[in-house]
Structure 1
Amino acid sequence: MRLARRLWPGSVRARATLGATAVVAIALAAASFALLGILHSNLQRSANDAATQQADTVGRLATQGKLPDLLPLAHGADFIQVVDAEGRVVAASQNLTGRPAVGHLRPHDGELRATWSGKPFHDEHRQRIVAVTAQTPTGKVTVYAGTSLRDADQADGITEVALGIGTPLLLATVALVTWWVTGRALRPVEAIRSEVAEITGHALHRRVPVPDAQDEVARLARTMNATLDRLEDAVVRQRRFIADASHELRSPITVLRTQLEVALAHPDPALWPDLVSEVLEDTVRLQDLAADLLLLARLDAAEPVESGPLDLADLCRTALAARHGDRIPVGMRLEPGITVEGSHGRLTRLLTNLLDNAQRHADEHIELALHTDAATGTAVLEVTDDGPGIPDADRDRVFERFTRLDDARSRDLGGAGLGLAIARDIATHHHGTLTAEPHPRGARIVARFPLSPPGAEMP
């Protein structure tokens, strides 16, 4: 087994060439044996038919008592001889005049004809001989007719030589053509391999060459380029995320350091309560930012979370009941009995982020609505406010990480621009969507989730 593995060619090109050549060799061998067999059989049958016809003709003459001493040869016959029961030559063709009787093979009792191949006269070439018995007025005789197998033997020999020379040449041609065609077919693969080997984390802009032919290799190249596009986009997003996260973390850390330096420079106990309050506020902001970054990392890693059927109306009521100190009361229009598959903690976080965003921008009114869309089979969760709204051009950008449409105001309110980004990632992980849609006044954020299949049991 190890020896076979060592001898087995390692390259695809060599294996394809070996396989194609082996298949053609087997096919040629089978066809050659079949051709030789059919050719030999046909030539033997032709010789046998000619001898049989000549022997039958002479046999009829013998039966009628019209047998001449010198027998004429018909076309295709090589010799003819008539021998009586005592082994004496009664009649023969001219080329056997004076020759002894063939006589070493006769039909058995009850048989009219016997056939064999051989050299009846050892100085001659092979013959196809037919022996026929006939009853004459003077007694029983045996008619021997022979047909030369010279042409059949020569045809067999020529065919064997031709196959012996032509088969290796054809196999060599098949091997060379397969090697050349396979090499041309695999040339783009080698170009793709070479290009991929040069792609590193600092050269993600490079792409593999796409062959002109619309074949499997071209589709492979396009698929690899699409994968490289996604990889480059993911790396760019990651680098931008790291830069933005560093920037966001640097601001509260800088403020904390400044406040602590002021406290050390002015050790006045009367100032400590205000300083501690400010430090605590910035610490909470830093803690919330760290928690958001950790959640984003887990969402990007697609960590599995416990999920099951959830009643969205109950989830909304529970989330609202846990909120304290909201600036604006939240109105509710919740359709009962809407069940989706998901994580209770993640969907609560999604709703909390949407409500926090509305609280930052609303003037006087926030509404939470829940209903189903029968046309799409989805649960629709909407949070609307009467704030400044979201411009049409920014409806997708607001879901990007660290995006603030009003940067100064968001920083004052403690926002890092991650709330809506986290909410959209959560919706995506639940096979849903989160979009900003038109609203007469203010913003309207809509989340859609697939409904649970009928019969799903609540935990």
Structure 2
Amino acid sequence: MAEPKTGGAVRSPGRVPLRALRRIRALRQIRDLGRIRDLARRLRPRSVRARATLGASTVVALALGAASFALLGMLDGNLMRGAQADAERQALSTAGLVAAGRLDTVLTPGRDTDFLQVVDAEGRVLAASPNLAGRPALSPARPGKPGTVRGTWKEGPARGDRRHRVVQVTTVTGEGLVTVYAGTSLRQADAADDIITGALAFGVPLLVLTVALVTWRVTGWALRPVEAIRAEVAEISDRDLHRRVPVPRSQDEIARLAVTMNTTLDRLEAAGIRQRRFIADASHELRSPITVLRTQLEVAQAHPDPALWGELVSGALEDTVRLQDLAADLLLLARLDTGEPPPAAVVDLADVAREAARSRRRDRIPVDMEIAPEATVRGSTLWLSRLVTNLLDNAQRHADGRVRLVLRVDAARRTAVLEVRDDGPGIPAADRERVFERFTRLDDARSRDEGGTGLGLAIARDIATRLGGSLTVEDAPVGARLVARLPLADTQF
């Protein structure tokens, strides 16, 4: 029987391919790196106090470490240069004696020199200090030319417990090259290094620990007002908006943060009050026409007299229209309160004002108009029409026999000025801001309600404000004078 053919090498059972082994190793490395990252993330300080303490301690430790190394290096360099100068001075003096032929076999080292030795070109010792008597040449190497060589030996020939700074001076004599070895112990440098190192090893950690403790205490003291602010804000709910966070006396950034927080709480409290008042007023305004409408329907059901149906249906229709107008006003107010960007289309306010005045020619109190040829502003035709309509409705509702609409352009201030005047009882100075509140009705002659919702002026001011303008009540000889100012569009100039 023929053996089956294979297209490649037969993989022995139990062996793992090399590529698979590499992939397993790579996966293990990735897993180990992930574990290291998780560990570093867990060990990372989370609080500002801990991070500030760690940062200050790290900076101080690095600075002190660098300063310590610099100090040790400068000290060791200065002491080593002093020892080298002493050895070099002694070596040059001895080399001068050798060149002059006045060399003694026994040399007396100077006060700051530990040993001396003179060696010829053959390695024979010509002279030496008493502590090197009988010793061979200090170095087996023979210089090939005159010069000076400086170096540090870890163990000196005279005292092996300390480093030595050795100066080797080679000079020319009648018998050839002669080398002088002069060495000075670095015991003072080593002792100073040991003392400074011990002091720094004790002082640097102590100073770093002191800095960490002081930073921890100072940071905790500085962040204490922040914790008080956080704790107070955490306890404030939608029913406790009257509460305020404590303001520290430090007059620093934290104090300004507390003041800003209290200002925000003031706005939230005012918004909550306005919202609750608006809901209460809206409920009251909706309840009245609904109650009347229900009463009319109950009367129609209880007295199925066709002669009464016309009057009842007419009254029900009026209340239905009032409910519809109120719902439309509430919907527009809700849209104005959303904070969405206002429309930015270029609209000719003069055309909007003319159309609003023309539609009232047959009203009980007609509208006289004095309108500029052109006054383009940014907004939307719907919003601007509602602004003019609400002002005219308010004026007609309270006028005795005359309403005047004036539109002019203030080129100096780049604004369009819209005025609506009536000859009614006017608005007292104390109530000139209150009339723009929602569902506000004055207690004087201007409180006559002829189908208004109590939201017209509030909507008009909100529209003017959202379009970057204003709406105010200003002085007038007779009646009321409401003035809206809107910024002109760039195309106006």
Task: Determine if contact 1:48/1:128 at 8 Å carries over to the other structure.
Answer: yes
Give the superposition deviation at 1:443.
0.8
Task: Determine if contact 1:81/1:101 at 8 Å carries over to the other structure.
Answer: no
> What amino acid is the match of 1:301?
T
Q: What secondary structure, in the 3-state scheme, does the structure 1 residue paired with 2:212 have?
A: helix
Matched, 1:341 2:378: yes
Q: Report the equivalent of 1:45.
A: 81
TM-score, normalising length: structure 1: 0.93
Q: Distance in 1 between matches of 2:325 and 2:173?
A: 128
Task: Determine if contact 2:131/2:158 at 8 Å carries over to the other structure.
Answer: no
Q: Report the equivalent of 1:66.
A: 102
Q: What secondary structure, in the 3-state scheme, does the structure 2 residue paired with 1:454 have?
A: helix
Q: Distance in 1 between matches of 2:151 and 2:140?
A: 9
Q: Report the equivalent of 1:421.
A: 458
Give me the identity figure in percent: 64
Q: What secondary structure, in the 3-state scheme, does the structure 2 residue paired with 1:363 have?
A: coil
Q: Report the equivalent of 1:77.
A: 113
5+ residue gaps, structure 1, are: none
> What amino acid is the match of 2:320?
T
1:302-321 alignment runs, 5 A limit = 302-304=339-341, 306-321=343-358
Task: Determine if contact 2:356/2:389 at 8 Å carries over to the other structure.
Answer: yes
Matching residue within 166, 180, 201 for 2:238: 201
Q: What secondary structure, in the 3-state scheme, does the structure 1 residue paired with 2:180 have?
A: strand
1:212-251 alignment runs, 5 A limit = 212-251=249-288
Q: 1:132 to 1:305 in 2, by over 3 A?
A: closer
Matching residue within 303, 313, 330 for 1:276: 313
Q: Report the equivalent of 1:112.
A: 147
After superposing the two structures, state which structure 1 stretch, 121-130 or 284-293, moved more. Answer: 121-130
Q: 1:167 to 1:412 in 2, by over 3 A?
A: closer
Post-superposition Cα deviations, 1:235-270, rounded to whole Å, max 9, x if no partner, equal 001111111111111111222222223323333221
1:165-184 alignment runs, 5 A limit = 165-184=202-221
Q: Distance in 1 between matches of 2:482 and 2:211?
A: 67
Q: Report the equivalent of 1:6.
A: 42
> What amino acid is the match of 2:79?
L
Give the superposition deviation at 1:413.
1.0
Matched, 1:432 2:469: yes
Matching residue within 369, 372, 387 for 1:332: 369
Q: What secondary structure, in the 3-state scheme, does the structure 2 residue paired with 1:52 have?
A: helix
> What amino acid is the match of 2:281?
D
Q: Distance in 2 between matches of 1:156 and 1:209?
A: 56
Post-superposition Cα deviations, 1:283-324, rounded to whole Å, max 9, x if no partner, equal 212221121112112211234564401111111112223446
> What amino acid is the match of 1:150?
R
Q: Distance in 1 between matches of 2:343 and 2:379?
A: 8
Matched, 1:188 2:209: no
Q: Report the equivalent of 1:288.
A: 325
After superposing the two structures, state which structure 1 stretch, 436-445 or 335-344, moved more. Answer: 335-344
1:119-134 alignment runs, 5 A limit = 119-121=155-157, 123-124=159-160, 125-134=162-171
Matched, 1:387 2:424: yes
Give the superposition deviation at 1:362.
1.4
Give the superposition deviation at 1:123.
4.7
Task: Determine if contact 1:107/1:113 at 8 Å carries over to the other structure.
Answer: no
Q: 1:408 to 1:245 in 2, by over 3 A?
A: farther
Give the superposition deviation at 1:389.
1.1
Matched, 1:23 2:88: no
Q: Report the equivalent of 1:33.
A: 69
Q: Distance in 1 between matches of 2:485 and 2:226?
A: 44
Task: Determine if contact 1:116/1:128 at 8 Å carries over to the other structure.
Answer: yes
TM-score, normalising length: structure 2: 0.87
After superposing the two structures, state which structure 1 stretch, 430-439 or 30-39, moved more. Answer: 30-39
Q: 1:166 to 1:412 in 2, by over 3 A?
A: closer
Task: Determine if contact 2:52/2:215 at 8 Å carries over to the other structure.
Answer: yes
Matching residue within 119, 129, 143 for 2:180: 143
Q: 1:325 to 1:107 in 2, by over 3 A?
A: farther
Q: Report the equivalent of 1:373.
A: 410
After superposing the two structures, state which structure 1 stretch, 9-18 or 262-271, moved more. Answer: 262-271
5+ residue gaps, structure 2, are: 1-36
Task: Determine if contact 1:102/1:144 at 8 Å carries over to the other structure.
Answer: no
Give the superposition deviation at 1:17.
1.6
Give the superposition deviation at 1:198.
0.7
Task: Determine if contact 1:385/1:442 at 8 Å carries over to the other structure.
Answer: yes
Q: Report the equivalent of 2:5.
A: none
Post-superposition Cα deviations, 1:121-176, rounded to whole Å, max 9, x if no partner, equal 26533211111123345554222111111111112222222222222212211221
Aligned pairs, how many? Answer: 455
Give the superposition deviation at 1:67.
3.2
Q: 1:411 to 1:263 in 2, by over 3 A?
A: farther
> What amino acid is the match of 1:114?
V
Q: What secondary structure, in the 3-state scheme, does the structure 1 residue paired with 2:246 have?
A: coil
Q: Distance in 2 between matches of 1:226 and 1:409?
A: 36
Task: Determine if contact 1:106/1:131 at 8 Å carries over to the other structure.
Answer: no
Q: Report the equivalent of 1:55.
A: 91
Post-superposition Cα deviations, 1:4-56, rounded to whole Å, max 9, x if no partner, equal 21221222211222222222222222222222222222222221111111111
